[in-house]
Amino acid sequence: MNRLPIRWRLTLWNTAALAVLLLIVGLLVYGLLRHAMLEQIDRVLIEQFHELEHDLHSVDDPAGRIRHWIEEFYEHVGALCVVYGNDGLVARTEQMAAQSVPDPPANASDESRFDSRRLPLIGRQRMLTRSLHANGSRFVVVLMLPMDEVHEELRGLAAVLLAVLPLSLLLAGGIGYALARRALAPVERIRQATDEITAEQLSRRLDAPNPSDELGRLAQTINAMIARLEQSFAEVRRFTADASHELRTPISVIRAEVEVAMHQPPDAEEFQTLAGSILEECEHLTKLTNQLLTLSREDAGLVLLESEPVDLARLVADATQMMRPLAEAKEQTLTLDRRTAAVVTGDADRLREVLYNLLDNAIKYTPSEGRIEVTVTDQSGMIAVAVRDTGIGIDADHLPRVFDRFYRVDKSRSREAGGTGLGLSIVQSIVAAHGGRVDIASTPGDGTTCTVLLPRSESDPPT
């Protein structure tokens, strides 16, 4: 069933549902008609019985009067009648054969009892059985009307229903298939249009004539997915181009210096200069490739973070102490303010990398005699580590993109400072993996504040 096209499945399900509905309606109509016809027969029988009962109240010879009424029943409504007394059969319709007379009822009462029974020679009859008291005697009256006409009409109705049902299903199936095919035609158009969109045509979008219906919302969802793919492809292309540029620059420098050394053998001092320059570029390459490897492994979900209590305040103090010589070399003031106990759950090595990146950026982009302040505070149950500097700052237009890979506000300045444009991307990736976030605020000329927010842990700090 699941292998059939959707239009066939819709057609079969609709046809099956209609078949069940028609069957229920047919049975309901058949049952209601049968009930109405039997009720009409029962009404005639009970009226005849009441006439007999009313007439016998003032009669001295009930048996004789009963025989008179039996003939009246047959003459006026065609009803057969059998009456039993205490001594057996009292009277019956003369036109009724002896083989057709039913046995005396064993449990006749003053309440009317209706049933249907097939009797020899006369066929199926609708029977009313009820006891009757007259002049001190008790009689059991059995009135009968033939049901041949009722059965003929019911058979005719059943034949019509059985003939109409398959024809209705065939007609409904054909109409259902046509409607399903027409209803699914936009889906086929969406499929064809989607199939034509390739990596080189991600700017194309699907038409959504009616955005409020299901197909319109489907087209909008696919368009949103294509937009995300277009953005991802653009980021991949930009990332590839930036990575190629970053890798090409140091390689070109190394090659040029080696070629110079080969064509003009340097003296000892020049050799030292060339070796130092090559070593610097190699270090830059090593840092860049390590950062690229880190991001690639995190994107692929291959980096497994440790999950253990980490004394973040102590970690911040250690990182600050390690970076202090770099700040002092630029005559900068690096201070630390720990205002709260700070225990988080995570990977100490990865969090240390976050702190080194933030402090390294602050030191690089803060001029000599500038200030760098590191604070550890509590913000609504989160541990906030803020690194504030009095550096050059970042324009508001650049702030939303500072976490993009290889993005630099000033490419030439970053290159001179030895940056790769991947530090903040790594910071954001590590913090997000710990369930936190990174906020950045900056004013050009006044400095930048980068704040890492991490969930507080209820565990005891490690000893």
**In angstroms, what CA-CA distances link 52 with 56, 70, 112, 251, 410?**
6, 9, 14, 124, 117
Residue 258 confidence (pLDDT) above 80? no
pLDDT of residue 303: 58
Average pLDDT on 398-418 reads 62
Strands 371-379 and 333-338: parallel
Q: Select from 263, 236, 251 the least CA-distant residue to 404.
A: 236
Distance CA 54, CA 43 (A): 16
Contact 354, 294 (CB under 8 A): no
Average pLDDT on 85-111 reads 84
pLDDT of residue 412: 46
Average pLDDT on 195-210 reads 77
Domains 6-153 and 308-455 agree in fold:
no
CATH number for the domain running over 6-153: 3.30.450.20
Strand ordering across the sheet containing 371-379: 333-338, 371-379, 382-389, 447-455, 437-443
Contacts of 20 by beta carbon, 8 Å cutoff, 6+ apart: none
Q: Residue 413 — pLDDT band, cuts 50, 70, 90?
A: very low
Structural domain boundaries of the chain?
6-153, 214-299, 308-455
Q: Select from 16, 37, 18, 14 the least CA-distant residue to 26.
A: 18
Contact 217, 211 (CB under 8 A): yes
Distance CA 264, CA 98 (A): 142
H helix or E strand, kind and range, residue 388: strand 382-389
* Residue range 308-455 in CATH 3.30.70.270: no
Cα 409 to the chain's mean position, in Å?
A: 42
CATH number for the domain running over 214-299: 1.10.287.130
pLDDT of residue 415: 47
As beta bridge partners, residue 378 has 383
> Any idea what DSSP says for residue 405?
T
pLDDT of residue 461: 61
**DSSP string covering 165-211:** HHHHHHHHHHHHHHHHHHHHHHHHHHHHHHHH--GGGTT-----S-T
Q: Select from 221, 212, 216 the least CA-distant residue to 189.
A: 216
Distance CA 417, CA 363 (A): 10
Phi, psi of 65 (to 5 degrees): -65, -35
Alpha-carbon Rg of the chain, whole angstroms?
50
Contact 423, 440 (CB under 8 A): no
pLDDT digits (tens, 9 = 90+) for 40-87: 999 999 998 888 888 887 777 788 888 888 888 888 888 899 988 888
pLDDT of residue 301: 58
Task: Tell whether the torsion through CA atoms of 392, 397, 401 and 406 is positive or negative.
Answer: negative
Q: Residue 247 — pLDDT band, cuts 50, 70, 90?
A: low
Q: What is the dihedral of CA 412, 414, 416, 419, to 10 degrees?
A: -140
Average pLDDT on 334-363 reads 87
pLDDT of residue 334: 92
**Structure-block tokens of residue 71:** 């003939």
